[in-house]
A and B are shown apart, each in its own frame.
Chain A
């Protein structure tokens, strides 16, 4: 019993981190209808940013979020303007945008590999090797802080979406792009803003993963497969769905890892992705896709 609770705690902590990572992906899909396969590659870029800020300037990766988030937001706006704004204007190009994000992921991976080589790295703040112990249970401090940070950022994102004028416009665009235009939402500006926010969330995720996981440029393929399974389970475009998907699948993966070995843990995500697409392609909370 104690062991099962311990596994659940570790699974939930990891799920909180995955929820942060998946939030940007699902937000961008919700507004723009693009599966951004480069999302995890951008997370890697942010992780490298956090790594060098920590190594060269001694700034803790949690603190450096105030640098990585705005930097990635700005990069997102530039990428949107250069790549997506033009494609959006041309309906014929919209269908191939997922391939463009795939190409973008390869370019980012190649660039990071060229400059920083394909060796494993991680930031090592003091808490990275500490753990909180409460009775028979323990939780690595890094995972605890990462989960806490995820809760704060996702809470702020939820409040922004729920109560601000911009949040109303984003939700409206996620529901019905044409209807949003009809009431006066400049959907192109909102798309650009959301892509920037999604990238800022990738920035925060990169900072977090820099001290929770070891990383190298090609690691993003593992993450993007996991993130896709989370958002597909929750329902593409649903933030709450991404949270539910992340927490539930991470707990299941933690149990699989504990019982069958860590090698089988990623299989949980891929298998879930396969089963969900077969049984309920719209996920738990997503809109049914119309073909």
Chain B
């Protein structure tokens, strides 16, 4: 059974036009996904619908057999789906420790949250050295690690990352993907929207191509990377840029 089933979802913001125009996708357990597509394709919107930040206008999202349509983000979190948005959505004046504590906000047992934070710090030692610092004083890469660490406090089944390497240097981007590989090895399903499509597809097992709010192609990442039509439409520009 699929972890998450997205069934013919139509969604948009306020009274604006539909951004997702009828998308269907099955997210299998123990598989990592990379979603690519041009700007405005609806990649971030899709993640927001899955995590409950945006309710679909029609269609539904099913997780482990339960319809999640209408659930609030905290109710989706309780089912084990975490979302890491693209805008470095930390709490800038709160310390690193306080930010990590907010990751366990839906857990009532504070001692358990602190125990989980210790385990997260084992994965991101740089954060352990900066526990008392306000989050805004961290570098871009450290902030991204804190965002991922914050999501891990809940020990989720699925993590969705929206452009985790946006604005980061290549070396730091590699570190972020190394961290994501660790999560993958730990059995967490990962869905990543990545501007560096090649990097994202090399990391993921499965590639999904979105355009104009629809899924235009999905398949094993290797297939997506080697598909000439997709390369021309969605990866070609990147290739030219790299060559230049």
Q: Point out residues on A near B: beta carbons under 8 Å.
A: 91-92, 165, 168-169, 171-172, 175-176, 178-186
**Chain B residue total in the interface (Cβ 8 A):** 27
Any A CB within 8 A of the CB of B30: no
Cβ B103 vs Cβ A183 within 8 A:
yes
> Could you say which residues of chain B place their CB within 8 Å of the CB of A175?
91-94
- Residue among A91, A175, A182, A185 with max Cβ neighbours from chain B (10 Å): A182
12 pairs across A/B with beta carbons < 8 Å?
A: A165-B110, A168-B102, A171-B91, A178-B89, A180-B91, A183-B102, A183-B103, A184-B73, A184-B77, A184-B105, A184-B106, A186-B74
Pairs of residues from A and B, 6 with the lowest C-beta to C-beta distance, nearest first: A179-B89, A184-B74, A184-B106, A175-B91, A184-B77, A181-B73
Any A CB within 8 A of the CB of B83: yes
Interface string of B146-167 (1 = CB under 8 A from A): 0000100000000000000000
Q: Point out residues on B near A: beta carbons under 8 Å.
A: 14-15, 51, 53, 72-74, 77-78, 83-85, 87, 89-94, 98, 101-103, 105-106, 110, 150
- Which of B14, B53, B110 is close to A182, meaning CB atoms less than 8 Å apart? B53
How far is B107's CA from A169's CA once the two chains are assembled, in angstroms? 13
Whether A182 touches B105, Cβ cut-off 8 Å, given contacts A91-B14, A171-B94, is no
- Which of A92, A165, A176, A185 is close to B74, meaning CB atoms less than 8 Å apart? A185
How far is B15's CA from A100's CA once the two chains are assembled, in angstroms? 22
- Which of B53, B91, B93 is close to A181, meaning CB atoms less than 8 Å apart? B53
Cβ B14 vs Cβ A92 within 8 A:
yes
How far is B104's CA from A168's CA once the two chains are assembled, in angstroms? 11
Cβ A182 vs Cβ B85 within 8 A:
yes
Nearest A residue to B106 by beta-carbon distance? Answer: A184
> Could you say which residues of chain B place their CB within 8 Å of the CB of A179?
85, 89-91
> Could you say which residues of chain A place their CB within 8 Å of the CB of B110?
165
Cβ A168 vs Cβ B98 within 8 A:
yes
How far is B110's CA from A185's CA once the two chains are assembled, in angstroms? 16
Q: 6 additional contacts, CB 8 Å, given A176-B89, A178-B53, A183-B103? A: A92-B14, A168-B102, A182-B51, A183-B105, A183-B150, A184-B77
How far is B151's CA from A179's CA once the two chains are assembled, in angstroms? 11
How far is B84's CA from A172's CA once the two chains are assembled, in angstroms? 15
How far is B101's CA from A169's CA once the two chains are assembled, in angstroms? 10
Cβ B105 vs Cβ A185 within 8 A:
yes
Cβ B14 vs Cβ A165 within 8 A:
no
Cβ B91 vs Cβ A172 within 8 A:
yes
| Interchain nearest-CB distance for A29 vs B (Å) | 16
Nearest B residue to A91 by beta-carbon distance? Answer: B14
- Which of A92, A176, A184 is close to B90, meaning CB atoms less than 8 Å apart? A176
How far is B13's CA from A92's CA once the two chains are assembled, in angstroms? 12
| Interchain nearest-CB distance for A184 vs B (Å) | 4
